[in-house]
Amino acid sequence: MPEKDNIIQISILLAARNEEHNIERCLRSLDALNFPKESIEIIIGDDDSDDHTADIILDYIQRKQQFKYVKITEQLAGLKGKANVLAQLAHHATGKYFFFVDADIAVPTTWLTHMLLHFGQNTGVVVGLTRMKKSHLLADFLSMEWLYALSVTRLASFFQVPITGMGNNMAVTREAYFAIGGYEKIGFSIVEDYTLFMSIVRKGYRFAQAYNPQILNISEPVNTFAELLKQRKRWMQGVMQSFWVTKWSLIISSQLVPFLLILAYWYPAISLLMIGLHYALTTVTALIAITILKQKDLWKAAILFWFYVTGMGGIMLINYILPGQMEWKGRKY
């Protein structure tokens, strides 16, 4: 519960650019949070949107004192995009904790309370969970992919092995954020959530991976394979900058099945056995994850997940290697 000597305990920082189709859904979920409204502030940074994002925000937040709208027109030295927005919002924030969420996210009412439970002594950052809104098969596979990866991250967190942050569901202490100098000190990155997470960990703070349905955010999914490739090209930048265990685990796992298929030419029985075991391990892990997190609507995606992830691993590597600029929110990087 909020501390009596601190009126604002939590600052929710939300960067938005051209989100007219998503922003009201996000704002409604934040307005419904089961937390004293006088103890939170929700600061929305409009990153120079050229659609109706600003109009929707301003109309919704009328007479809602916990919401604050900030028009971002200035670009801080060395920063651009979302990192530039969040850097400026942090200086408007007064809370003890900074919570990060994206404009295409709907949060559960229990989000703040259950994330706060994971802040122990010297914990600087807590990473939450996210899945896609149920809408089509690709969305289910993406949900399964996120929950599978976050389950691995959860396991690694028991040994304080840092893997990644997640900008659509992450919280940091004010102390840790400013101890590293904020985004101004970190500098620009297309994967600003990962760089913030790693900077806090490298400063000596502990981290935690929250793992329960009460902190599970629901994202709008990408709807086409072309959109997915754009998203993954950006994500791979973070993977290739990440802890060596993460980077090489992805590279090796993405090439394992192709290697076994080639090996089958000489050793068919052994190769097929190993592929079968790989399928079983992946599928059992996926089923355990959706059971623990009470997302049983994903059982079909869990059974077929091995086929999806086996193909996507190689596609992501090839997509990353291919030349070309990254495009995100109408901007090229």
pLDDT tens string 159-188: 998 988 999 999 999 999 999 999 999 988
Nearest Cα neighbor of 161 from 291, 282, 249 is 249
pLDDT of the residue at 307:
95
Q: How far apart are CA 214 and CA 13, in angstroms?
A: 20
Q: How far apart are CA 237 and CA 5, in angstroms?
A: 42
- Mean predicted confidence (pLDDT) in 269-281: 97
What DSSP string runs through 54-104?
Answer: HHHHHHHTTT-TTEEEEE-----TT--HHHHHHHHHHHH--SSEEEEEETT
3-class DSSP assignment, residue 326: coil
3-class DSSP assignment, residue 40: strand
Distance of CA 278 to the CA centre of its chain: 26
Instruction: Residue 77: count other Cβ atoms within 10 Å of its Cβ.
Output: 8
Cα–Cα distances in angstroms (integers) from residue 276 to residues 257, 265, 301, in the given order: 10, 16, 18
3-class DSSP assignment, residue 292: helix
Indicate if the pLDDT at residue 10 is higher than 90: yes
Which domains does the chain possess?
10-225 (3.90.550.10), 238-332 (no CATH)
Distance of CA 91 to the CA centre of its chain: 22
3-class DSSP assignment, residue 171: strand
Q: How far apart are CA 227 and CA 259, in angstroms?
A: 29
Whole-number mean pLDDT of the chain?
Answer: 91
Evaluate whether 191 touches 199 at the Cβ level (below 8 Å): no
Residue 215, both tokens: 């902190």
3-class DSSP assignment, residue 280: helix
Distance of CA 232 to the CA centre of its chain: 13
> How far does the chain reach from its first CA to its final CA, in angstroms?
41
Residue 120, both tokens: 């122990």
Q: Per-residue pLDDT tens for 86-122?
A: 999 999 999 999 999 999 999 999 999 999 999 999 9
Q: How many residues does the chain have?
A: 333
pLDDT of the residue at 317:
74
Task: Identify each DSSP E strand in the chain by its residue range.
Answer: 10-16, 40-46, 67-71, 97-102, 105-106, 123-127, 129-132, 170-173, 206-209, 216-219, 327-328, 331-332
Per-residue DSSP letter, 52: S
Q: How far apart are CA 315 and CA 243, in angstroms?
A: 21
Nearest Cα neighbor of 164 from 216, 113, 129 is 129
Indicate if the pLDDT at residue 4 is higher than 60: no
pLDDT of the residue at 1:
38
Q: Is 214 exposed, middle or buried (0-12, 13-18, 19+ CB in 10 A)?
A: middle
Indicate if the pLDDT at residue 296 is higher than 80: yes
pLDDT of the residue at 332:
65
pLDDT of the residue at 250:
73
Q: How far apart are CA 275 and CA 218, in angstroms?
A: 33
Q: How far apart are CA 63 and CA 57, in angstroms?
A: 12
